[in-house]
């Protein structure tokens, strides 16, 4: 069943990026604090709508470029299923809802959501066309999401946790760009006119190594070795995703499909359960 064009314009399948808002809750040992769940879940929905507003504006500004892309031409605006006037009206409605809702949210959370929107907007309009910078902007947005989660539960995560989130997002963004490059090898439009497969493969290898080193240091320094038992699981997940990158797996082309990979999901569940159990164990 085909989704309504306006719903597809919001790209709900990309909302998984906002799941990082729950990470501070896990590492602050507040996962079972039921009083925090309503506000953290509300914050998650708030960031999802903020992301959707950015997606709509991005599709409006990129409509001509999207029509020349093999996949993006199927987006509602590029395909003509939604007019620019309808998209503008819908984005205005989303903005009004978010503005009204922000009145009931912690003020610093609202600032972080605004920072996420502005960062995404600047990325969409300018910085996504500058190689290397584009990858760092994606990582910055994940840092903002994580910070928003920390604000909601009044936690102060270690800087090491933010470093890990940053490197994880870098790793993810590199893989996605390599998959995109391989797909549009002939046209090589936009940022893909600068990147090469070899360069992105090298970056993927380097970022994977940096990510694992940061995670090992985090588990040994911040948690005094308590979480070091989770290192093999984290290593497995990083190596598996690196394999996906190097083999042009579908999960890299469309990252939301990684949730369909059984091995990765089993490892992720085991990792989360292990983290929660080890942190909760006094």
Q: Say yes or no: 9 and 83 in one domain.
A: yes
Q: Say yes or no: 152 and 262 in one domain.
A: no
Mean pLDDT of 196-222: 93
The C-alpha atoms of residue 185 and residue 52 are separated, in whole angstroms, by: 29
The CATH number of whichever domain residue 150 belongs to comes to: 1.10.357.140
The C-alpha atoms of residue 282 and residue 273 are separated, in whole angstroms, by: 16
Please state the separation of Cα 164 from the chain's center in Å. Answer: 13
The C-alpha atoms of residue 232 and residue 235 are separated, in whole angstroms, by: 5
Last residue of a domain, one of 123, 156, 189: 156
Q: Say yes or no: 89 and 195 in one domain.
A: no
pLDDT attached to residue 144: 96
Given a cut of 70, whether residue 217 has pLDDT beyond it is: yes
Mean pLDDT of 208-237: 92
Residue 185 pLDDT grade (very low, low, confident, very high; cuts 50, 70, 90): low
Q: What is the dihedral of CA 252, 236, 268, 210, to 10 degrees?
A: -70
pLDDT attached to residue 36: 92
Give the length of the chain. 282
Please state the separation of Cα 190 from the chain's center in Å. Answer: 21
Which residues, at least 6 apart from 148, have a Cβ–Cβ distance to it below 8 Å?
21, 43, 47, 109, 112, 113, 116
Mean pLDDT of 32-45: 93
Residue 22 is encoded by which pair of tokens? 């729950």
CA triple 85-48-234, angle to 5 deg: 140
Element (H, E) at 50: helix 37-61
The C-alpha atoms of residue 232 and residue 107 are separated, in whole angstroms, by: 40
Q: Say yes or no: 162 and 279 in one domain.
A: yes
Q: Say yes or no: 14 and 149 in one domain.
A: yes
Q: Say yes or no: 118 and 189 in one domain.
A: no
pLDDT attached to residue 190: 66
Q: Say yes or no: 166 and 209 in one domain.
A: yes
Mean pLDDT of 28-44: 91
Q: Each residue of 143-170: pLDDT tens digit?
A: 999 999 999 999 888 899 999 999 999 9
Residue 76 pLDDT grade (very low, low, confident, very high; cuts 50, 70, 90): confident
Mean pLDDT of 225-237: 92
Q: Say yes or no: 146 and 168 in one domain.
A: no
Residue 1 pLDDT grade (very low, low, confident, very high; cuts 50, 70, 90): very low
Q: Say yes or no: 7 and 136 in one domain.
A: yes
In the chain, how many domains are there?
2
Given a cut of 90, whether residue 94 has pLDDT beyond it is: yes
The C-alpha atoms of residue 43 and residue 27 are separated, in whole angstroms, by: 18
Asked if residue 74 lies in contact with residue 83, where contact means CB atoms within 8 angstroms, the answer is no
| Helix 231-246 / helix 159-183 crossing angle, nearest 10 deg | 20
Last residue of a domain, one of 119, 137, 156: 156
Domain that residue 240 falls in: 158-282
Q: How many CB atoms lie within 10 A of CB 127?
A: 16
Q: Say yes or no: 114 and 65 in one domain.
A: yes
Given a cut of 90, whether residue 193 has pLDDT beyond it is: no
Q: Say yes or no: 74 and 176 in one domain.
A: no
Please state the separation of Cα 9 from the chain's center in Å. Answer: 18
Sign of CA dihedral 194, 180, 123, 156: negative
The C-alpha atoms of residue 22 and residue 19 are separated, in whole angstroms, by: 6
Q: Say yes or no: 90 and 143 in one domain.
A: yes
Mean pLDDT of 114-118: 95
Residue 186 pLDDT grade (very low, low, confident, very high; cuts 50, 70, 90): low
Average pLDDT, the chain: 89
Last residue of a domain, one of 156, 179, 207: 156
Mean pLDDT of 272-277: 92
pTM of the entire predicted model = 0.90
Q: What percentage of residues in the chain have a pLDDT greater than 90? A: 57
Please state the separation of Cα 86 from the chain's center in Å. Answer: 27
Residue 3 pLDDT grade (very low, low, confident, very high; cuts 50, 70, 90): low
């Amino acid at each position: 069943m085909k989704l309504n064009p306006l719903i597809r314009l919001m790209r709900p399948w990309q909302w998984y990026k906002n799941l990082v808002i729950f990470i501070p809750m896990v590492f602050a040992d507040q996962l079972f604090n039921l009083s925090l769940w309503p506000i953290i879940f509300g914050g998650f929905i708030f960031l999802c709508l903020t992301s959707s507003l950015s997606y709509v504006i991005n599709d409006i500004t990129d409509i001509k470029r999207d029509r020349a892309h093999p996949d993006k031409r199927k987006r509602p605006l590029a395909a003509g299923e939604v007019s620019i006037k309808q998209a503008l009206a819908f984005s205005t409605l989303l903005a009004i809802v978010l503005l009204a809702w922000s009145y009931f949210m912690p003020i610093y959370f609202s600032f972080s959501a605004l920072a996420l929107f502005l960062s995404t907007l600047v990325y969409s309009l300018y910085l996504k066309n500058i190689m290397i910078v584009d990858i760092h902007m994606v990582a910055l947005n994940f840092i903002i999401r994580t910070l928003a989660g920390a604000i909601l539960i009044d936690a102060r995560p270690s800087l090491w946790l933010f470093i890990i989130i940053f490197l994880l997002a870098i790793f993810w963004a590199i893989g996605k760009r390599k998959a995109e490059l391989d797909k549009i090898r002939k046209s090589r439009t936009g940022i893909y006119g600068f990147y090469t497969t070899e360069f992105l493969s090298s970056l993927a290898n380097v970022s994977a190594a940096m990510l694992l080193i940061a995670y090992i240091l985090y588990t040994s320094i911040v948690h005094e070795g308590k979480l070091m038992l989770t290192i093999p699981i984290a290593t497995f997940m990083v190596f598996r995703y690196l394999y996906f990158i190097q083999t042009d797996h579908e999960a890299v082309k469309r990252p939301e499909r990684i949730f369909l990979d059984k091995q990765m999901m089993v490892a992720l569940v085991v990792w989360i359960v292990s983290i929660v159990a080890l942190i909760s164990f006094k």
